[in-house]
């Protein structure tokens, strides 16, 4: 395996609606900042891969427009996934492993604000059994929360504690959208939004994006004083029928963690759990000890730009390794409803 590292990370100031900007204008400063972080231009990049969704953009092949923000002339080697950018990073990592590239640029973004996100999200479901029912994404997540509550796997208080801890942590995150939280008792006194979920159990709706530079071997050492080396990365998927899954566990998290080499101790973990009840499923799947700092950024509960919130988790861990505040970390990204698909990445400092 080639040694590949994240050497630069930039993200937007996530917010409810970047209505004065289109997607290209929103992501361009982020792209520029990530490249500036290593003093590179797009001509120094061997492979570019992005993640976005036409359903959110309301436009076919919307990622082609966004390439204007990268600079695609003279022609560049480029790919795209209709997935969170964490999977675009996985593709770029594979490309570097093949030897076809030594450097890669990965970015992802979305504006959820133009549409009704909980309704748009229903279009991810199968078109025969679930899609025609137009289930909104919050009620859909509630099915998983209820299963966990019924099984005694979590409690409403524990869910509120997750909301409180993440949003208080977000006070130290200049890019966060939801910062600070009422007390757990105050949260529990609020009405249900979509029983058993209260507002605090749900992620914010966000516009935003993230960009990352990857490099192999000596190129990474040239570009960064402390590269964040990718020591393991894997992604796995559970079945798509919610009624045929045990919703009180996330086997694909555990399998991806095992394949990515999640063992030993970690300084930091960033997990992509949009709804409060999901954090525990991810942490149980990762099998982390109690001494790990979980989601110092505030996680997806503090800012949840679709297609970007997963890659942001990798970026948050890498940023802490690059600035020397962490030596070893694990990042998790999820895709689909109810933690159906999961990616796990182990990042380390050192040589």
Partner 1 sequence: MAVDDSAGGEGLLRAPLVIEYPFNRTTGPVVGAFVTALRDRRVLGIRGADGRVVCPPVEYDPQTGAPLDEMVEVGTSGTITSWSWVSQVREGQPLQTPHALALIQLDGADTAMLHVVDAPGPESVSTGARVRIRWSDEPTGAITDIACFELDGGAS
Q: Strand 78-81 to strand 341-348: parallel, antiparallel, or no bridges (unpaired)?
A: unpaired
Residue whose CB is less far from partner 1, 3 or 55 = 55
Residue whose CB is less far from partner 1, 5 or 346 = 5
Stretch that binds partner 1, among 69-77, 130-138, 268-276, 341-349 (CB under 8 A): 130-138
Using alpha carbons, select from 247, 233, 227 the residue that is nearest to residue 340.
247
Among 5, 6, 7, 10, the residue binding partner 1 under the rule CB under 8 A is 10
Helix (H, G, I), strand (E, B) or coil at 147: helix
Using alpha carbons, select from 123, 151, 93 the residue that is nearest to residue 284.
151
Residue whose CB is less far from partner 1, 116 or 263 = 116
Whole-angstrom Cα distance, residue 13 to residue 339? 25
- Under rule CB under 8 A, residue 237 binds partner 1: no
CA dihedral for 189, 192, 195, 197, sign (positive or negative): negative
Residue whose CB is less far from partner 1, 25 or 222 = 25
Among 56, 70, 112, 145, the residue binding partner 1 under the rule CB under 8 A is 145
Residue whose CB is less far from partner 1, 129 or 189 = 129
- Under rule CB under 8 A, residue 109 binds partner 1: no
Among 65, 76, 114, 284, the residue binding partner 1 under the rule CB under 8 A is 114
Residue whose CB is less far from partner 1, 13 or 221 = 13
Residue whose CB is less far from partner 1, 20 or 225 = 20
Residue whose CB is less far from partner 1, 180 or 239 = 239
The single residue listed with the structure tokens 């992509």 is 272
- Under rule CB under 8 A, residue 315 binds partner 1: no
Binding mask 13-32 for partner 1 (x = CB under 8 A): x----xxxx---xx--xx--
- Under rule CB under 8 A, residue 150 binds partner 1: yes
Whole-angstrom Cα distance, residue 292 to residue 164? 17
Whole-angstrom Cα distance, residue 26 to residue 18? 7
Residue 62 contacts residue 23 (beta carbons within 8 Å):
yes
Using alpha carbons, select from 31, 40, 106, 42 the residue that is nearest to residue 69.
31
Helix (H, G, I), strand (E, B) or coil at 145: helix
DSSP 165-178: HHHHHGGG-TT-SS
Per the document, the length of the chain is 351
**Footprint of partner 1 on 152-211 (CB under 8 A):** 192-197
- Under rule CB under 8 A, residue 64 binds partner 1: no
DSSP 242: G
Residue 210 contacts residue 108 (beta carbons within 8 Å):
yes
- Under rule CB under 8 A, residue 124 binds partner 1: no
- Under rule CB under 8 A, residue 289 binds partner 1: no
Residue 27 Cβ vs partner 1, minimum distance, rounded to whole Å: 9
Q: What is the dihedral of CA 177, 182, 185, 188, to 10 degrees?
A: -40
Name the site residues for partner 1 (rule: CB under 8 A).
8-13, 18-21, 25-26, 29-30, 33-34, 36-37, 58, 114, 116, 118-119, 127-130, 132-136, 139-147, 150, 192-197, 239, 241-244, 247
């Amino acid at each position: 395996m080639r040694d590949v590292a994240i050497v630069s990370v930039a993200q937007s100031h996530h917010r409810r609606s970047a209505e004065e900007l289109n997607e290209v204008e929103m992501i361009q400063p982020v792209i520029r900042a990530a490249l500036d972080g290593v003093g590179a231009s797009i001509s120094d990049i061997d492979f570019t891969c992005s993640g976005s969704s036409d359903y959110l953009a309301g436009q076919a092949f919307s990622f082609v427009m966004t390439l204007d923000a990268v600079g695609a002339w003279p022609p560049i080697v480029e790919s795209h996934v209709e997935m969170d950018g964490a999977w675009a990073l996985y593709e770029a990592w594979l490309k570097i492993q093949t030897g076809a590239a030594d450097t890669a640029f990965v970015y992802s973004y979305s504006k959820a604000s133009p549409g009704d996100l909980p309704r748009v999200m229903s279009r991810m479901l199968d078109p025969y059994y679930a899609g025609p029912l137009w289930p909104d994404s919050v009620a859909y997540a509630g099915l998983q929360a209820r299963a966990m509550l019924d099984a005694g796997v979590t409690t409403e208080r524990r869910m509120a504690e997750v909301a409180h801890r993440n949003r208080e942590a977000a006070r130290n995150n200049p890019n966060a959208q939801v910062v600070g939280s009422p007390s757990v008792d105050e949260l529990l006194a609020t009405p249900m939004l979509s029983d058993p979920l209260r507002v605090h159990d749900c992620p914010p709706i966000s516009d935003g994006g993230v960009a990352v530079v990857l490099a192999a071997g000596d190129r990474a050492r040239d570009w960064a004083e402390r590269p964040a080396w990718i020591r393991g990365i894997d992604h796995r998927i559970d079945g798509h029928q919610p009624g045929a899954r045990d919703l009180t566990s996330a086997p694909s998290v555990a399998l991806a963690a095992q394949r990515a080499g999640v063992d030993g101790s970690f300084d930091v973990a960033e997990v992509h759990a949009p709804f409060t009840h999901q954090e525990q499923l991810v942490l149980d799947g990762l099998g982390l000890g109690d001494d790990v700092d979980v989601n110092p950024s505030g996680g997806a509960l503090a800012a949840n730009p679709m297609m970007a919130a997963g890659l942001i988790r990798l970026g948050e861990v890498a940023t802490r390794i690059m600035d020397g505040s962490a030596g070893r970390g694990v990042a998790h990204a999820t895709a689909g409803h109810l933690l159906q698909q999961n990616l796990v990445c182990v990042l380390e400092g050192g040589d």
